[in-house]
Amino acid sequence: MKFDFRQLTSHFQLYGNFVVAVPYGTGHINDTFQVTFDQGGTLLHYIIQRVNTNVFKAPEELMDNFLRVTRHIGAKIRDERAVNPATRRRTLEVVNSIYGKPYWRDPAGNFFRCYVFVENARSYDILETKAQAYQAAAAFSNFQADLADLPQRLNETIPDFHNTPSRLANLEKAAKEDKLGRLKSVSREFDFIMARGKECGVLIDLQKEGELVERVTHNDTKLNNVLIDDLTGSGCCVIDLDTVMPGLPHYDFGDMVRTGTSPAAEDETDLGKVTMRFPMYEALLRGYLSGAGGFLNATEKSLLPFSGKLITLEIGIRFLTDYLEGDVYFKIRRPDHNLDRCRTQLKLVASIEEQYDAMRKLADELA
């Protein structure tokens, strides 16, 4: 979809002259662009996003969460800066529309928002070093810690987002309908998932029994949703705040294991390259516990290795469901893209299962 960015950005409180807009990042949901403004000879960057309103049905409520979260973290960073002026920790800063709202809707109903581009930092689709894994996980755990005292429950931007049994039920429904006749070509993947059906309810059931408690979590801690500082190498800014809402901390740790341990891309077609790298898991666990170790109880800590397996399986379920439903949710760039993505997830689940005893042993030691 093409937009007139000069005209579009004129609806936001941006100063100077519009220079250029380019598509940015590799997110699967929103349309993200980096825009450049010339402000008296200085070039400044911003992010403009078209929020996917098929996915986020109540974007105004979402932006309400967004502001509450970024103001809360922003205040903590200001306090921190008073003690340590050198801190490079950041949070997203929304640029309001000229009508005073944190978004602008165009006449066609497209929902746009704008925020300040975080300079001298970048996100990685594949983590290269253990230090990056540690720092990224520390940033996400500090994010959870920062929000532990957020007043009032956040809006649920996507109900049942990490309800794995309900994700499994959606897959079974899609398989039953088999709209595109694709089921026959994915029976191996489907059977692999179904053989693990019982495990899908473990976290949700413990929550119902009161063993696990709801916290404020990010819920989409794909490693490219944290910016790593170019200068210091630390995780300086957690981004993609659309799914920040009540959840279990395991959803966040689990997604870090899913996206931070494999040396292969999420859509790699050579499954031989997909594996759970134990040293990366160790770095993620240590980094995560550096910020979350203080508020997690023993039961929560003991389930961290399991969360890696569960969330990887859950996203595999979601990719396969979307494949069977005709690729209506995740953006795709080739016909079998969702199937390729599903296969990497299931291969990673198998690799986690092979190393599961060692993963648990380490978690017990570090707890």
By the rule CB under 6 A, 316 interacts with ligand ADP = no
Site membership for ligand GN1, residue 243 (CB under 6 A): yes
* Single-letter residue type at 364: D
What is the total count of residues that contact ligand GN1 (CB under 6 A)?
12
> In terms of CB distance, is 144 or 225 closer to ligand ADP?
225
Q: How many residues in total does the chain contain?
A: 367
Query: Which one of residues 9, 70, 170, 225 is an interface residue with ligand ADP (CB under 6 A)?
Result: 225
- Rounded distance between C-alpha atoms, residue 171 and residue 337, angstroms: 17
Pick from 220, 268, 322, 325 the residue near ligand GN1 by CB under 6 A.
220
What is the H or E stretch that residue 351 is in?
helix 337-354
Contacts with 160 (C-beta within 8 Å, 6 or more apart), sequence order: 166
Is 117:45 a contact under the CB 8 Å cutoff?
yes
Q: Give the nearer residue to ligand GN1 in terms of CB position, either 14 or 276.
A: 276
- List 135, 170, 217, 225, residue binding ligand GN1 (CB under 6 A): 225
Give, as ranges, the residues between 244 and 273 that touch ligand ADP (CB under 6 A): none
Residue 246: phi and psi, rounded to 5, are -60, 135
Which amino acid type is present at position 44?
L
Query: Quick one: which segment of 112-120, 126-134, 239-247, 280-288 binds ligand GN1 (CB under 6 A)?
Result: 239-247
Show the site string, 10-49: x = touches ligand ADP by CB under 6 A, - = not. --------------xx-x-xx-x--------------x--
272 vs 289: CA distance, rounded Å: 31
Cβ(265)–Cβ(125) under 8 Å? yes
Q: Is 89 helix (H, G, I), strand (E, B) or coil?
A: coil
Residue ranges with strand state E in 152-280: 215-217, 226-229, 235-238, 245-247
CB-based burial label for 43 (10 Å; 0-12, 13-18, 19+): exposed
Is residue 225 at the binding interface for Mg ion, with CB under 5 A as the rule? yes
Q: Applying CB under 6 A, does 308 fall inside the site for ligand GN1?
A: no
Taking CB within 5 to 8 Å according to partner kind, which of ligand ADP, Mg ion, ligand GN1, none is near residue 359? none
Nearer to ligand GN1, 242 or 282 (CB): 242
- Neighbour count for residue 348 (Cβ, 10 Å): 27
Residues 14-73 that bind ligand GN1 (CB under 6 A): 27-29, 55
Which of residues 25 and 102 has its CB atom nearest to Mg ion in the complex? 25
Q: Which residues would be at the binding site for Mg ion (CB under 5 A)?
A: 27, 225, 240
Q: Which residues would be at the binding site for ligand GN1 (CB under 6 A)?
A: 27-29, 55, 220, 222, 225, 240, 242-243, 266, 315
